Amino acid sequence: MNHDNANEPNKLQTLLNTPPKRWSAAASLVAVLGLSYWLSKPELAPHPVIAQPIVQGQQLRFPAGHPQLALLGTTPAVAAQSVTIDLPARLVWNEERTQRIYPAFAGRVVQLNADVGQSVKAGQVLATFASPDFGAAQADTAKAQADARLTERALARQQTLFNAGIVSRKDLEQAEADAARAQAEVARAQARTSLYGSGNLVNQQLGLSATVSGVVVERNLSAGLEVRPDQGGPGNPALLVVSDPRSLWVHIDARESDVASLKPGTQIALVFPNFVGESFNATVAATGDFIDPNSRTIKVRAVVENPQRLLKAEMLGTARIVRQLAAGVLVPASAVQLRGTEHWCYVQTEPGVFEPRRVRLGYEGLQEVLVVEGLKANEHIVKDNSLLLAREFRNAEEQAKTHAPANSSTDHK
């Protein structure tokens, strides 16, 4: 078949040279051979012409049965009574029930009494250090106590001599002042040592105790480790962290427009990827008074009760709040296009007829957006392939400008 098709042009040339009296038969043969040639070449066969959409005023009109209409899915705009807002959230320890233990004196760890996951009570010693610096503080307390006893006896003698008229009042007052200074030094030394252990014995044993009841959630020391006071503070991990995991804080990054819905006492729902179909109730406790210059968000803190300890610190989730609305319609996020600083969507005014509409948004979510200006409830908007529709608008406008008189113009933007 392909070999015969290669000779078809030569046959046609021969027929063209046929005398006029034989043109009838030749014409019939030409028609047959030409049809055979075109059928054997599908790529050369003419395709049916499809009418293109046209611009009429501010609208784009598709002819009936145009194949692209099947790609332009539409949905009605829904009057919004409320909108669900999703915000990023992170769980952290409840600092009101957390103790971070840092070294107050230099020393070496000689005994560990607690490990991660262990429950402890307030006042329980978690680790013991051998600390010469703490021993010096204990010695200062002992010396202050000895000096105080000495000055008390001296004061008693001066009082007896003064009553007998042997010493002057000046000497008595000096003894009273010495005794008062000695007592003040005892109070100072005891206050220092009592924060970290007993000051009555000079044994250099420094105990790290829990001040809250909870669970050891972090441990950054081991037996024999040398520690120094300058290892504490911001940027350095605590030696031990004790917290009550039955209550956690929730850090939420909120936008400026969402802060009004996150006042203290507001109930919110927390959802996490690990707990599909399940949510946890939390209560907003505090809202920040400044905007983070990097993320342009406001920090909001909530509290979630965790009696079964299912939730863990540093979990990432979503804080879901419901904002009540006074007006506006909800549409799919895919229906709105951003052009520069303006938002646009396409409204189907009648079957096959589409109109661009500039809108103003009140909230932008991942799945849906709130339109507060430019759309009415129940208007049908294009939710699928809106970029394809925008391209058809441009093509139709270019065709209209090409065929329009020189003094005409198109108003569509």
Closest CA to 362 of 321, 326, 328: 328
pLDDT tens digits for range 307-332: 999 999 999 999 998 877 777 888 89
pLDDT at 131: 84
pLDDT at 198: 62
Q: What is the 3-state secondary structure (H, E, C) of the chain?
A: CHHHHHCHHHHHHHHHCCCHHHHHHHHHHHHHHHHHHHHCCHHHCCCCCCCCCEEECCEEECCCCCHHHHHCCEEECEECCEEEEEEEEEEEECHHHEEEECCCCCEEEEEECCCCCCEECCCCEEEEEECHHHHHHHHHHHHHHHHHHHHHHHHHHHHHHHHCCCCCHHHHHHHHHHHHHHHHHHHHHHHHHHCCCCCCCCCCEEEEECCCCEEEEEECCCCCCEECHHHCCCCCCCCEEEECCCEEEEEEEECHHHHHHCCCCCEEEEECCCCCCCEEEEEEEEEEEEECCCCCCEEEEEEEECCCCCCCCCCEEEEEEEEECCCCEEEEHHHCEEECCEEEEEEEEECCEEEEEEEEEEEECCCEEEEEECCCCCCEEECCCHHHHHHHHHHHHHHHHHHCCCCCCCCCC
Neighbours of 92 (CB within 10 A): 15
In the predicted model, is pLDDT for residue 16 greater than 50? Answer: no
pLDDT at 123: 87
Which has more pLDDT, 124 or 38? 124
Q: Which CATH number fits domain 241-324: 3.30.420.10, 3.40.50.300, 2.40.30.170, 2.30.30.140?
A: 2.40.30.170
Domain 56-80+328-403 has CATH 3.40.50.720: no
Confidence category of residue 46, pLDDT binned at 50, 70, 90: low
Region 85-112: what's the mean pLDDT?
90
Region 141-145: what's the mean pLDDT?
88
pLDDT tens digits for range 145-165: 899 999 999 999 999 998 988
Which has more pLDDT, 15 or 172? 172
In the predicted model, is pLDDT for residue 206 greater than 60? Answer: yes
In the predicted model, is pLDDT for residue 36 greater than 60? Answer: no
pLDDT tens digits for range 114-130: 899 999 999 898 988 88
pLDDT at 245: 94
Query: Considering only the top CATH level, what class is 105-237?
Result: mainly alpha
Confidence category of residue 34, pLDDT binned at 50, 70, 90: low
Which has more pLDDT, 363 or 218? 218
Confidence category of residue 33, pLDDT binned at 50, 70, 90: very low
Give percent of the chain with pLDDT exceeding 90: 31
Which has more pLDDT, 232 or 52? 52
In the predicted model, is pLDDT for residue 232 greater than 80? Answer: no
pTM greater than the 0.75 cutoff: no
pLDDT at 139: 87
pLDDT tens digits for range 161-196: 989 888 898 988 999 999 999 999 989 888 888 777
In the predicted model, is pLDDT for residue 29 greater than 80? Answer: no
Specify the residue for token string 């003040």. 184
Neighbours of 216 (CB within 10 A): 20
Which has more pLDDT, 206 or 49? 206
> Which one of 103-107, 157-161, 384-388, 393-397 scores highest in mean pLDDT?
157-161
- Provide the mean pLDDT of the chain: 82
Which has more pLDDT, 57 or 22? 57
In the predicted model, is pLDDT for residue 219 greater than 50? Answer: yes
Q: How far apart are CA 186 and CA 142, in angstroms?
A: 8
